[in-house]
Amino acid sequence: MSTSENTFQAVAGQDQTKNIIKLAILAVGGQGGGVLSDWIVDVAERNGYRAQATSVPGVAQRTGATIYYVEMMAASDRDPVFALMPAPGDVDILIAAEIMEAGRAINRGLVTADRTTLISSSHRMFAVSEKIVPGDGRADSAVVLAAGQEAAKAFICFAMDKIATETKSHISSCLLGALAGSGALPFPAESYRETIRASGRGVSASLKAFDRALDQAKTQEPAQNTDQIAPTDSITVPTDLAGPKVLVDKYNLLVKRIQSLPQPAQEIAARGLNKVIDFQDLAYGGEYLDHLEQAAIADRQAGGETRHFRYTKELAKYLANAMAYDDVIRVADLKTRGTRFQRVRREMDVDAETVMQITEFMHPRATEFCGLMPHRIGRFVESRPKLVRLLDRMVNRGRRVRTDAILPFLSLYLVSGLRRWRRSLLRHHIEQAHWLEWQARAQKTLTTDYALAVEIVLCRRLVKGYSDTHIRGLSKFDRVLAGGDLVAGRSDAADWLRRLREAALLDEKGEALDGALATIHSFIDDTPKAASA
């Protein structure tokens, strides 16, 4: 064998794969994963590395992310052969555009404690599987944060979406900055900046986002669960009140009344007060506090102090939601507010000089139309099925309305102005009767079963939304409370009502609720037979 052959075998026998840096990016459409992978390849090549990038598209509508995979190694006289896909346990750097993608990467085994630097933004983008749950289907970000700390060799995680918004850039710039700040790649920060400059688009904003993310990655504080709201002992009160002095004084008097409520309920009561006032007026806010004050008295008499006044606290939340229901007037009001147009421009990244068009899809039915009538006239119409069917044929069809045009905007603006007469309209009479009966039922139960009374209050969570969604919620609400009547008087009545409510929130059709009700009937119906035997 020749000397040259021996030399070749020695080189070929060495494990050259140890010199390859393997980097994976998980991102969905619009998060700039492709741009980020191109930037990383460019940075590597600027520093004398060979690099290859591949991608495997994910499924649309947030059921899967695209995986961008980059392999790189220092250039030599031999051409490297790179892999096309990341393998579990064989990734040096994992970049996730949001926290749940980091969690999925951990589940796939792409993050390992002995070698992987995990870089992720702490914000959330909710998956379809989370959104379709009628209740709270959100996965817990805190679990992913804890798993990231345990599973990765190094974990860089902070709110990069906030930096992108504040710098009017994209999250890809922030992720690149976090990568540079992590020190996981042996490249100077200036080479990253040169790559951004060479891209030629949005350079100034991208550099700002890059530098801020780089600095934060170097001095990162422990990541926190961004889904949770930090508790506070202070009452939320607007500090920029403007308007007639008499109205400001009335509002301040309402705020003072909150201080007479049990301390655990004060913060949520302040938020509820602001919500119902925004929905209607100051007098309506006074009615809200009237009910809460009566509830607080009953709560104290029922021994609520030992239970941290949970009844009053939960009622403060759900009563505000019940009193600020979604009707046609509310929808028209929200769609014609100036703050909404500003929010749409901000979220769509539209500058003030660009013409923006907004098209609303509306599908009114006879029910909504009758709800806008004075209650006596509305009940007269609803009691005549033929008249309702005729009215439904006239109004029940989908419409696309351009609210950026003058006439459609004015029509919605006039509808929103009906709120001064809202209390005399049919929809308000229906909603008020419903939440008054619900509250009276809970307060009556409070004298005999505190836990069950709290669960009755929490059942109001089932009623939400608008149109068909609202009708389905009311139906589930009534069925759950009817199921609660079956177990009333039992020591585990509160637990059963909680199970019914949670079952109702599991699916839209109510199949889980049907099963839970069948379970109750199975032992309730058997009780008389057992007694007679």
The stretch 273-296 carries a mean pLDDT of: 95
Mean pLDDT score of the chain: 85
> What are 146-189's pLDDT values in tens digits?
888 888 999 999 999 889 888 888 899 999 999 999 999 999 99
Residue 393 has pLDDT above 70, yes or no: yes
224-239 burial: b if 16+ Cβ within 10 Å, else e: eebeeeeeeeeeeeee
Output the pLDDT for position 468.
Answer: 79
Asked if the structure places residue 103 within a domain, the reply is yes
134 and 282 belong to one structural domain: no
Q: Which of 299, 316, 337 is the last residue of a domain?
A: 299
The stretch 3-11 carries a mean pLDDT of: 39
Asked if the structure places residue 245 within a domain, the reply is yes
> What are 294-307's pLDDT values in tens digits?
999 999 999 999 99
Residue 423 has pLDDT above 50, yes or no: yes
Output the pLDDT for position 21.
Answer: 92
Banded pLDDT at 60 (limits 50, 70, 90)? very low
201 and 247 belong to one structural domain: no
The stretch 184-204 carries a mean pLDDT of: 91
Say which residues have a Cβ less than 8 Å from residue 460's Cβ, sequence separation at least 6: 318, 319, 321, 322, 435, 438, 477
**How many domains does the chain fold into?**
2
Asked if the structure places residue 54 within a domain, the reply is yes
176 and 39 belong to one structural domain: yes
236 and 205 belong to one structural domain: no
Say which residues have a Cβ less than 8 Å from residue 273's Cβ, sequence separation at least 6: 254, 255, 258, 285, 288, 289, 320
Asked if the structure places residue 369 within a domain, the reply is no
Q: Of all residues in the chain, what percent carry a pLDDT higher than 70?
A: 87
292 and 176 belong to one structural domain: no
156 φ/ψ angles, rounded to the nearest 5 degrees? -105, 115
Residue 422 has pLDDT above 90, yes or no: yes
Output the pLDDT for position 295.
Answer: 95
Asked if the structure places residue 168 within a domain, the reply is yes
213 and 275 belong to one structural domain: no
182 and 93 belong to one structural domain: yes
Output the pLDDT for position 62.
Answer: 47
Q: Which of 262, 282, 299 is the last residue of a domain?
A: 299
Q: What is the CATH number of the domain that holds 146?
A: 3.40.920.10
173 and 243 belong to one structural domain: no
Asked if the structure places residue 411 within a domain, the reply is no
Choose between 221 and 505: higher pLDDT.
Answer: 505
Residue 366 three-state SS: helix
Structural domain harbouring 234:
229-299
Output the pLDDT for position 219.
Answer: 82
> What are 216-226's pLDDT values in tens digits?
998 865 444 44
Residue 529 has pLDDT above 50, yes or no: no
Asked if the structure places residue 33 within a domain, the reply is yes
Choose between 470 and 442: higher pLDDT.
Answer: 442
SS (H, E, C) 56-74: ECCCCCCCCCEEEEEEEEE
Q: Which of 299, 325, 357 is the last residue of a domain?
A: 299
Output the pLDDT for position 527.
Answer: 53
Residue 435 has pLDDT above 90, yes or no: yes
What's the pTM value of the predicted model, to 2 decimals?
0.70
Asked if the structure places residue 528 within a domain, the reply is no
210 and 235 belong to one structural domain: no
